[in-house]
Amino acid sequence: MPAAIIGRKIGMTRHYTADGTHIPVTVIEAGPCAVTQVKTTENDGYSAVQLAFGEIKPRRSTMPQIGHDAKAGVSPRHVHREMRCATDDEATGFELGSTVDVKAFEGVKYVDVVGTSKGKGFAGQMKRHNFKGMCASHGTERKHRTGGSIGSHGTDRGHGAKIKKGKKMAGQMGNERVTVRSLDVIAIDVERNLLVVKGPVPGPNNGYLMVRAARRLYKRKAKKLS
Amino acid sequence: MNRTTVIENFEAAQLKNPSDVPDMRVGDTVDVHYRIIEGDKERVQRFQGVLISLKGRGINRMMTVRRIVANEGVERIFPVHSPRVGKIEVLRRADVRRAKLYYLRSRTGKSRRLREDRDEAPATKS
């Protein structure tokens, strides 16, 4: 398993480099996580490591969950996430009940951060898809923020008399899983379990995040590494 | 640990030494030494003017300095804790009754002057 960990978004601030340029950064409390389950091909059909983060009171957890955590010899945890491993050997390299902390990210330059974005509720096309809306005047009545035509139903290029799937319309915005890729790692503080990355990450402060070493870099950043 | 404490701890390492930042107040005439890096050369540019606004706290502290260049008002906003901002000198302290001196923007000529505060001389007068 490449470096991966569960964390909590602390918030944003700024960071000055030695030459005085300032970088907007997000501080993430990354780990320490407990290994609560090791999955192997023989047992589960695939290999993975389950990490758990965030201590909670037992009464806030459930009996099955408490039992699951106790099996690994750790106190009840809030979030559990599975990290896939390439081989069984890699997975069994993690001992049940051992801790994974931000030290795993030492030497990692870029990370991906996965989180749940802030919910915006049922949003119109203008807010959700950046549509322009209609004219303010020129005879427009009660249609200033509509998306306009959604296509004639009879001639939708082989889709039959139906609107194309995935047509951009109003609907739920936010509160979904979002991955931001290839964020620069600015600082790692092993003592305080902090990971500082450049730019914003999804979700509210105190929201849970999954951080992993960048899986596929943007071209520009891949060039910088090589 | 509490959220704000974690952020403040992270910022604390970047804050300037309190002895390097003088006691500035809005209305002061200040001299800001700003480091400019051109290629591999570095020089210091001085910007002298009236401090008309101080806002933000901690690492986000910003100072707005206004001066008149060739009969034209020029305002620059400096991040107080930026490594590019070198020395800050307080040259003169004025007696003002506002937290932000934006009204100076519409003043011209003699009315632009501020009354000096004779009771409180600036601490770092050089």
Q: What is the pLDDT of residues B108-122, one digit of tens each?
A: 888 888 877 777 666
Cβ count within 10 A of residue A23: 15
CB A52 within 8 A of CB A77: yes
Which residue type is seen at A103? K
**Nearest CB neighbour to A10, from listed B6, B59, B84:** B6
* Amino acid at site A214: A
pLDDT at B78: 92
Residues A103 and A72 in one domain: yes
- Which 3 state secondary structure label does DSSP give A164? coil
Total domain count for chain A? 2
B6 touches A at CB < 8 Å: yes
CATH number of the domain encompassing residue A213 = 3.30.160.810
Q: Which helix (H) or strand (E) holds A180?
A: strand A177-189
Residue A46 pLDDT more than 80? yes
Q: Give the chain B residue nearest A23 (alpha carbons).
A: B82
Which tops the pLDDT comparison, A152 or A113? A113
Q: Scanning the structure block, which residue is given the tokens 């002057």?
A: B113
Q: Do A52 and A106 belong to one domain?
A: yes
In order, the DSSP letters of A1-34 are: --SEEEEEEEEEEEEE-TTS-EEEEEEEEE--EE
What's the confidence (pLDDT) of residue B54?
93
pTM score, whole prediction: 0.81
Mean pLDDT over each residue of chain A, to the nearest integer: 87
What SS3 string covers A100-121?
A: ECHHHHCCCCEEEEEEECCCCE
In total, the C-beta contacts within 8 angstroms joining chain A to chain B are 42
Q: Could you tell me whether strands B29-38 and B85-92 are parallel, antiparallel, or unpaired per DSSP bridges?
A: antiparallel
From the candidates B2, B3, B35, which should be mutated to test the interface with A, based on the most A CB atoms within 10 A?
A: B3
**A130 with A170: CB under 8 angstroms?**
no
Separation of alpha carbons A24 and A4, rounded Å: 23
CATH of domain B3-105: 2.30.30.790
CB pair distance less than 8 Å for B10 and A27: yes
In whole angstroms, give the CA distance from residue A92 to residue B118: 76
Average pLDDT, chain B: 85
Do A137 and A29 lie in a common domain?
A: no
CB contact under 8 A, B14 and A15: yes
Residue A142 and residue A49 in one domain: no
Enumerate residues 6+ apart whose C-beta is below 8 A from B49.
B29, B30, B65, B66, B67, B68, B74, B76
To the nearest whole angstrom, how far is the Cα of A18 from the nearest Cα of chain B?
7
Residues paired with residue B9 on neighbouring β-strands, in sequence order: none
Residues A13, A68, single domain; the answer is yes
Q: Please, which residues bridge with residue A13 across strands? A: A25
Position A79, amino acid: V
A-chain residue closest to B37, CA distance: A19
User: CA-to-CA distance for A98 and A95, rounded, in angstroms?
Assistant: 5
Helix H or strand E segment including B32: strand B29-38
**Which of A173, A189, A210 lies at the terminal end of a domain, its last residue?**
A173
> Are the C-beta atoms of A195 and A105 separated by less than 8 Å?
yes
pLDDT (mean) for B71-97: 89
Considering only residues 72 to 101 of chain B, which have any Cβ-Cβ distance to chain A shorter than 8 Å? Answer: 79, 81-84
Direct distance between the N- and C-terminal alpha carbons of chain A, in angstroms, rounded to an integer: 22
pLDDT exceeding 90 applies to what percent of chain B? Answer: 25
Residue of A129, A132, A222, A131 lying closest to A181 (CA atoms): A222
For A205, the 3-state DSSP assignment is coil
Contacts of A14 in chain B (CB under 8 A): 59-60
What local confidence, expressed as pLDDT, does residue B126 receive?
47
Cβ neighbors of A150 (< 8 A, separation 6 or more) are A163, A167, A169
User: How far is it, in rounded angstroms, from Cα B74 to Cα B65?
Assistant: 8
Give the mean model confidence (pLDDT) for residues A190-210.
91
Mean pLDDT of A18-36: 88
Residue A30, classed as helix, strand or coil, is strand
- In terms of residue numbers, what domain contains A215? 4-120+178-225
A94 and A159 inside one domain: no
A152 vs B14, which has greater pLDDT?
A: B14
Which two three-digit tokens encode residue A137?
Answer: 């005047």
pLDDT band at A159, cuts 50/70/90? low
B14 in A contact zone (CB under 8 Å): yes
CA dihedral B111, B113, B116, B122 (to 10 degrees): 150
The helix or strand, by DSSP H or E, that contains position B86, with its residue range, turns out to be: strand B85-92
